[in-house]
Amino acid sequence: MSTQPKPSNPLKAVRGTRDLLPPETALWNRIEQTARQVFSRYGFGEIRTPIFEATELFARGVGEETDIVSKEMYSWEDRARAQSEKAQSLTLRPENTAGVVRAYIEHKLGETGDLQKLYYIGPQFRRERPQRGRYRQFWQIGVEVLGPVSSGSESPVRDAEVLEMLATLLDELGVKNWRLELNSVGSTEDRKRYDAALRAALAPVKAQMCEDNQRRAETNPLRVLDSKEPADQEIINALPKIADFLDDSSREHFAAVRAALDACGVPYTVNPRLVRGLDYYTRTTFEFTVPSSSDPASGLGTQNALLGGGRYDGLSEMLGGPKAPGIGFAIGEDRLVLTLQAQAEAAAKAADESSAGAPGLASQTWVQIPKLDAYIAPMGAERNAAALALARELRRAGLSVEVGDGTFRLKKSFEAADKVARHIVILGEDELATNTATVKTFATGEQVKVARGQLGELLRAKG
RNA sequence: GCGGGAUUGGCCGAGAGGCUUAGGCGCGUGUCUGUGGCACACGAAACAGGAGUUCAAUUCUCCUAUCCCGCCCCA
């Protein structure tokens, strides 16, 4: 029974991380490109913050008691720079809002008086049990809108604008069947009063609930609202509602957000049980979901939340900065990819029920990878140099070109060419002697011999 | 962190305590020295890792790893 100490395999991506390869990366690029385009139409600029920060930032910003901070962070003691200094605890960012707000404070962006509209795209790190749609290194596309009160950062217009933008982005990406769930958790004080009321209401009925909920009732009563335990639903539904604990300003704010969404025609559902895990959320909280496990058109299992976000009016001050109300969200890019792939797959299956062809490119990318304009086939190794020179010419003219190898037999060149390109350009003895090239078009089978100078133009004309 | 399922070539996917680990896709070579896509022939390539039971293990058991499902939680 000699069990070996685990042989960590250096030739394997570590648990919870993965490589993204072509052609799948084309899908990622398309998503990111679409997001950038949409964001810029709303006046957002990109921010890039470090991938690691002082541990303290997350402890204070995200909340000491959250799961993220208490058990999911990748932290380490950095080496002290000098004898006199002590090592600093650093952490791979588990989310990006704290970093953005830190940058806002550090660069005194509040002093400009302007409303800051920022977006980021990048990897985040949490040490959780990997699952479908949950990785230890995962990607988020996020947005933060914040600024001094005088910039209008507190306005419900900002909430509604962000939500409307998300609806537009998901539509432009082609995400089907998304749902917006919306709630208000009120101000910090509202939440405090609600928490007390919940505890009071739970005290007499707690014992009838499942183990998890009994524990939550003690540690974090808000989380009881999240419970999916069927047996406890009756009790949960009878619990006090956060809506009844909102002060006037929170109530008006929420009503204004909904009115603006209605005016824009963005559909949503108010979900009074939507509470989010991070400490800094105030007032508006929201989630966009897609149909989950039971529906094959979701690529996600129980992780049916595509993105989440909310308002964080007190975060800057929690971190020691000026008052800077804000609202933001983070899209789980990995989940977005999974969803789009699953929906593309489902659509393809529905489109041709009959052909039981192998799951093609659609399942991986749903993005069409265009074929190259030309494949240059040199005849004989001594034509290789000339082929590369020709490729350079064409590429500089903006055409996409692959170059074969003169040692390939013509048959092999044709096979290789047909796979990646629309045309094959044959470069043999004749062609070089007469300064021409032979071009064959795969789609039509037609073949012509043209002067070198006209080759680019011809390829462009044939498309 | 807890519970359950899975792991066979590059990919998909059969299989049984001992006989040669099917088949398909893909790949390579040839028929075929400048006109391919087809066809035919041939070829390379796998039982996740470790221990145990057994005359014999890829098959049974255990451990480890990884993925998937659920819980927790979140994107």
CATH number for the domain spanning A447: value is 3.40.50.800
Provide the CA A9 to C1' B10 distance, Å, integer. 20
- φ/ψ of A388, rounded to 5, equals -65, -35
Domain containing residue A276: CATH number: 3.30.930.10
> Do A142 and A234 share a structural domain?
no
Asked, for residue A426, whether it belongs to a domain, the answer is yes
Residue A14 in any domain: the answer is no
Quick one: pLDDT at residue A302? 61
Could you say which of A326, A345, A364 is where a domain stops?
A345
Tell me if A140 sits within 8 A of A35, measured CB to CB.
no
| Matching residue, tokens 């993220």 | A68
- Same domain? A143 vs A287: yes
Kindly give the parts of chain A with pLDDT less than 50.
1-6, 293-297, 353-363
Task: Tell me what pLDDT residue A8 has.
Answer: 61
Domain match, A34 and A137 both: yes
Same structural domain, A280 and A230: no
Q: Determine the distance between A3 (CA) and B54 (C1') in angstroms.
A: 21
Asked if residue A307 keeps its beta carbon closer than 7 A to nucleic acid strand B, the reply is yes
Helix (H, G, I), strand (E, B) or coil at A423: strand
For residue A216, what pLDDT is reported? 79
A199 within some domain: yes
Whether residues A210 and A299 share a domain: the answer is no
The reply to whether A64 falls in a domain is: yes
State whether A397 and A316 are in the same domain. Answer: no
Assess whether A143 (CB) lies less than 7 A from strand B: no
pLDDT at residue A5, rounded to an integer: 44
Are A154 and A111 found together in one domain? yes
In terms of domains, do A322 and A452 share one?
no
Size of chain A in residues: 463
Quickly give A387 CA vs B6 C1' distance in Å.
50
Choose the final residue of a domain: A177, A211, A240.
Answer: A240
- Domain termination site, one of A240, A255, A270: A240
> What is the tally of structural domains in chain A?
3
Q: Which domain holds residue A453?
A: 374-462
Selection from A72, A43, A53 nearest residue A143 by Cα:
A43
Instruction: Say what the pLDDT of residue A173 is.
Output: 95
- In chain A, residues 365 through 394 whose Cβ sits under 7 angstroms from any atom of nucleic acid strand B: 379
Grouping H, G, I as helix, E, B as strand and the rest as coil, residue A362 is helix
A97 assigned to some structural domain: yes
ipTM of this complex prediction, to 2 decimal places = 0.87
Burial A98-129 (b: 16+ CB within 10 A, else e): bbbbbbbbeeebbeeeebbbbbbbbebbbbbe
**A75 and A122 share one domain:** yes
Tell whether A90 and A220 lie within a shared domain. no
Same domain, A328 and A283: yes
pLDDT tens for residues A238-254?
Answer: 889 899 999 999 999 99
Residues 235-264 of A with CB under 7 A from strand B: none
Asked whether residue A213 falls in the same domain as residue A297, the answer is no
Q: How many alpha carbons lie under 13 Å from residue A347 in its C-beta half-sphere?
A: 13
For residue A32, how far is the Cα from the chain centroid? 8
Whether residue A182 is contained in a domain is answered as: yes
